[in-house]
Structure 1
Amino acid sequence: MYVVTGEEMHRIDRFTMDEIGLSDHTLMENAGQAVARQLEKMFDQNAHFLVLIGAGNNGGDGFVISRYLQEKGYPVETWVIPPASRIKGTAAHHKHIYEQCGYSFKAYETNNQSFREALATKGIIIDALLGTGVTGKLRSPYDHIIRLVNESGNRIVSVDIPSGLPDSEGGNYTEVIWADDTITLQSLKLTACLYPEGGYYGKVTCVDIGIPNRAFSEQRVTRRLILQERVKATLATRDVNTHKGGAGKALVIGGSSAMTGAPTMTAQSCLRSGAGLVTMAVPESIHDVVTQHIMESMFASLSDAQGEITNESLKQINYTEYDGIALGPGMGRKHRLTLYERFKDVPGYLVIDADGLYHLHDDLSSWRGGHRLGPTIITPHSGEMARLTGCSVKEVEAHRFTLSKAFAKDYNMYVILKGPYTIVTTPSGDQWVNTSGNASLAKGGTGDTLTGIILGLLLQHKNIEDALCNAVYVHGKAADHLLDTHDMFSVNATDLISVLPRVLKLLRY
């Protein structure tokens, strides 16, 4: 499934009509019927619907929805908010069909008080007011209508996108429908994957309205969702004669006197994700502590200063012995590390996380336009991405897709921008949006486990995109699985590691 802006969706619709030959009348009929069929699944025959219709295509969908529901015997009250004369084009066509079928509507323009009374009755409000055509401040009466709807206490279902909300990054908005549910058409709209915008959508369901895949590929939409079906289909397999060396040799570099647990969790999750051999390179001063907490790893003790790894100690390792490296968990920030010079000629995967990203920032000029011998993957959260890009955290949150793509292309890296709807971006600019996970992941150590899962799965896959998409999905799915037995506040990073075998098995079989 694709993730699109409103402008992209308009181009896709236009291509579908002009090049493929599906008419705008057909697409609107398909959209309205698909939404109405979904409403049938959601509500029983006793549900009372209040359909609110605007002047644009979203309003046209509303006429089809109202007609379909009434044909099925549901009690429906239909309200047209703008003057009926302002309904044009395809929406006017479906308004005409609605009336020809013998159905009527009420005009807000001449029945303001009756509209308030209608909102006071218990029912399901269908928001077909504005759709993806909103830019800037709302005009009257929509700003007033939205406030009344939100205050009504009724359940609200938005069609395609909550009215008043922008459909792309960085948009301004004031009054927005707080939907309980949003039934979106064909593709997820981009702001559903951003916060705080995503909170307005409620539970999102996507319905197929018959737009062919070719319309998306021709318009070069490069954002897609990571869904369970894709993960199941692309999970790595293992030949019956594989040995431990053939299952991937991983190196985890990190740890410090203040953070002994971080590299341990990375190594444990890497092993649980399939790596055949894992070596932990940690400061000599914490070697004895770390070895007490993991039995399956090998160890390399690095000379350290003040309990942290130094540039000199990084020279002690022969990196060519490893297929992939995770750098940064618990590493500390006391000493400046020049990462590009150290790792540019290393052929294996390099996953940089946590304190590794702090050191990457100080060395960033060397990476721009650089060509490391092996693939580089970074895993920042919004604060780390802000430091890397020179933006504020607020700017990162508002432009997650744009900033991720620009950084990945500029520095020839795979960028995994963590958060709700984690985004995986390739150096070519393709983007994948994760659909698993929950707020229990807002806890120290969960990022260290993700780094280990990423490295472990990279060593099993031939395709890097598959490995990264599967890793972020599996990580989130482990958190989802834990909510069957744990309170959201109680999930720890080590709990994620403990359920990885179960989650992987469920996905595979």
Structure 2
Amino acid sequence: MRILTKEEAKFIDQWAPTKGHLPLALLMENAGRGVAEAIVTATEEENRSLDVVIVAGKGNNGADGLVAARQLEEWGHEVRVVIPCDDKSGSPLFQQQLAAIEALEIPVLTLADGDVFEAADVIVDGLLGTGLQGELQGPILELLDRMEAHVDTYPDTLLVAIDVPSGLNANTGAVAEGTLGMDLTVTFGAPKQGMCLYPGKSYCGEIIVKGLGFAWETALLDESNEHFPTELITAELIDALLPEREPTYHKGSNGHTLIIGGSDGMIGAPLLAAEAAVYAGAGKVTTVVPSDCLRMLQTKIMPEVMTGSFGNLLHLRMHSSEKQAVAIGPGLGRNEETTTLVKNFMTTTEVPLVIDADALWALGHMDIVGHEFSKRERPVIMTPHLGEFARLTGLTIDSIEANRIEVARQFAIKYQVVLVLKGAPTVVASPDGLVAVNSSGNEGMGTGGMGDTLTGIIASLLGQGLEEVEAAMAGVFLHGAAADFLYETRHVGFMPSEVARQVPYIMTEVVGSE
């Protein structure tokens, strides 16, 4: 599913009247009616006339709310409009819609009129939408404060945002002080990027997408559109990506995946990755560890996984020969000898490669080694968490979190890699500028070994024939969806190995999910 930045949404709004011959007023009618329909659907069990307050700013977001007010009144509900102040200036479309509201004698109130939310069953936030500039302040902030006070007293009040909650940055997911958490957010065309990122995601409530009355994707195909695409990773997307298996397939058809990792005291990491690769459907899996760790691995690993050892660069090259996918890093350790060895291997091999954990540490800053990856025929997949990514880039964790999608996108483009930036949410960035935001996963995944399991799943899918960006997207979704299943019964305490064992069931559920 495509998700939009506020700049893309603006581009669509500009394209519609200039090249699509669709007046913005028509789009506004569709949007406002969509808001009204969402409210009626959400309250259909009430089966009565509702008291609805439309809080309208003076831009086009507020004008959408005024259209909703007209629709709801026509359908028999008691509606009043609240605007920030007596000054009725605003965008041309706002003024046009306000004139219609006044002609229909729908009450228009301001903060000066006392308790404007008295007896409200539904309050609709149409103050700002994607038009936030800086912090919330003045009458806007006071209106939101009063809305919050009403909901504190009457918690059954339904709060509905138009497009995005006021105060939420539609690109980054940051929220200004005073932003209210909504029960519903009715957005248009597609979700906005910031609605899929934290903390903004937790302020939106249920997200309902309403159409604009035309295929808005056509606008983004215009040659003047210079925005890179951003997608939401959903079950439907993964269904389309997962490899189909013919009845004649055998273990050689489903890829041979190699896991390179392990060190003294860290043998569990490559073990988890290898077993996850098996559960994700790899035809064959081999795990190789330093020579002095081999016996320990063999006493712990599942019988379906082959084992081996390495001590030098030649060993790594021999083990990786004729493998369809190689994952390196889980539990490798950070001693100087190992760091030098794996760095030399990663920067000289051409095998399909997933780089994780201590192998990322071995790379150091990407400006030193990144040119080696940009020369590859196939991109490597890198799977850092925030701390590892900060070391690779020299950026602070706060600066990465503040602009997660664009930072990931520029990194992937610069070094021509597929980046899996783990976190809440995990994002996948490709060398051509596409970024995909994962929709699965939960806070119960914050435990050691989850990243190793993810690495094994991605490597397994890569070995089964998916392209690097496809394997990364499918891997992060399946990993998170498996954890979501376990989360239904335990919010914490489920183990990475349990997540791996759940993956084949999620794959079966996802296939044909449409």
Q: TM-score, normalised by structure 1?
A: 0.92
1:454 aligns with 2:458: yes
1:258 alignment counterpart: 265
Give me the whole-angstrom Cα distance separating, in 2, the residues matched to 1:503 and 1:426. 25
Runs of 4+ in 1 over 6 A off after TM superposition: none
1:308 alignment counterpart: none
Question: Is the contact made by 1:320 and 1:346 (CA closer than 8 Å) also made in structure 2?
Answer: no
1:322 aligns with 2:323: yes
2:477 alignment counterpart: 473
Give me the whole-angstrom Cα distance separating, in 1, the residues matched to 2:327 and 2:180. 44
| Distance change in 2, residues 1:123/1:97 (3 Å) | same
The match for 1:496 among 499, 504, 508 is: 499
Residues 380-439 of structure 1: per-residue CA shift (max 9 Å, x gap): 122221111111111111111111111111111000111223211101111111111222
2:22 alignment counterpart: 22
What secondary structure does 1:156 align onto?
A: strand
1:3 alignment counterpart: 3
1:300 aligns with 2:304: no
Count of equivalent residues: 496
Residues 63-97 of structure 1: per-residue CA shift (max 9 Å, x gap): 11111122222333322223352133112222233
Q: TM-score, normalised by structure 2?
A: 0.91
Letter in 1 for 2:472: L
Give me the whole-angstrom Cα distance separating, in 2, the residues matched to 1:401 and 1:48. 40
* CA shift for structure 1 position 326: 0.5
1:287 aligns with 2:291: no
Give me the whole-angstrom Cα distance separating, in 1, the residues matched to 2:366 and 2:234. 36
Alignment of 1:333-372 (within 5 A): 333-335=334-336, 336-337=339-340, 339=342, 341-361=344-364, 365-368=368-371, 370-372=374-376
Question: Is the contact made by 1:195 and 1:397 (CA closer than 8 Å) also made in structure 2?
Answer: no
Question: Is the contact made by 2:442 and 2:487 (CA closer than 8 Å) also made in structure 1?
Answer: no
1:306 alignment counterpart: none
Long gaps (5+) in structure 2: 152-156
Question: Is the contact made by 2:173 and 2:196 (CA closer than 8 Å) also made in structure 1?
Answer: no
Give me the whole-angstrom Cα distance separating, in 2, the residues matched to 1:178 and 1:409. 35
Give me the whole-angstrom Cα distance separating, in 2, the residues matched to 1:68 and 1:343. 61
Give me the whole-angstrom Cα distance separating, in 1, the residues matched to 2:134 and 2:325. 47
Question: Is the contact made by 1:445 and 1:493 (CA closer than 8 Å) also made in structure 2?
Answer: yes
Question: Is the contact made by 1:51 and 1:76 (CA closer than 8 Å) also made in structure 2?
Answer: yes
Letter in 1 for 2:252: G
2:231 alignment counterpart: 224
1:395 aligns with 2:399: yes
Question: Is the contact made by 2:173 and 2:193 (CA closer than 8 Å) also made in structure 1?
Answer: no
Question: Is the contact made by 2:366 and 2:392 (CA closer than 8 Å) also made in structure 1?
Answer: no
Letter in 2 for 1:29: E
Give me the whole-angstrom Cα distance separating, in 1, the residues matched to 2:366 and 2:125. 50
Residues 158-200 of structure 1: per-residue CA shift (max 9 Å, x gap): 1111112222339783332222322222122222233223332
Residues 268-303 of structure 1: per-residue CA shift (max 9 Å, x gap): 111111211111011233322222331111111234
1:95 aligns with 2:98: yes
Alignment of 1:170-189 (within 5 A): 173-189=176-192
Task: Give me the identity figure in percent.
Answer: 32
What secondary structure does 2:492 align onto?
A: helix
1:240 aligns with 2:244: no
1:107 alignment counterpart: 109
* CA shift for structure 1 position 362: 5.2
Give me the whole-angstrom Cα distance separating, in 1, the residues matched to 2:142 and 2:97. 26
2:439 alignment counterpart: 435
Question: Is the contact made by 1:340 and 1:366 (CA closer than 8 Å) also made in structure 2?
Answer: no
What secondary structure does 2:391 align onto?
A: helix
Give me the whole-angstrom Cα distance separating, in 2, the residues matched to 1:275 and 1:491. 24
The match for 1:274 among 274, 277, 281 is: 281
1:375 alignment counterpart: 379
* CA shift for structure 1 position 346: 2.8
Letter in 2 for 1:479: A
What secondary structure does 2:411 align onto?
A: helix
* CA shift for structure 1 position 364: 5.0
Give me the whole-angstrom Cα distance separating, in 1, the residues matched to 2:481 and 2:95. 45
Give me the whole-angstrom Cα distance separating, in 2, the residues matched to 1:315 and 1:106. 74
Give me the whole-angstrom Cα distance separating, in 1, the residues matched to 2:331 and 2:340. 14
Letter in 2 for 1:425: A
Letter in 1 for 2:96: H
Deviates more, 1:5-14 or 1:215-224: 215-224
* CA shift for structure 1 position 145: 1.4
1:425 alignment counterpart: 429
The match for 1:137 among 132, 135, 138 is: 135
The match for 2:149 among 148, 151, 157 is: 151
Letter in 2 for 1:342: F
2:38 alignment counterpart: 38
Give me the whole-angstrom Cα distance separating, in 2, the residues matched to 1:464 and 1:356. 18
Letter in 2 for 1:195: Y
* CA shift for structure 1 position 443: 1.6
Deviates more, 1:138-147 or 1:261-270: 138-147
* CA shift for structure 1 position 481: 1.6
Letter in 1 for 2:287: M
| Distance change in 2, residues 1:324/1:333 (3 Å) | same
Residues 207-258 of structure 1: per-residue CA shift (max 9 Å, x gap): 2223421112322441111122222222211222223222111110111222
Deviates more, 1:62-71 or 1:234-243: 234-243
Deviates more, 1:240-249 or 1:367-376: 367-376
Letter in 2 for 1:156: L
2:154 alignment counterpart: none
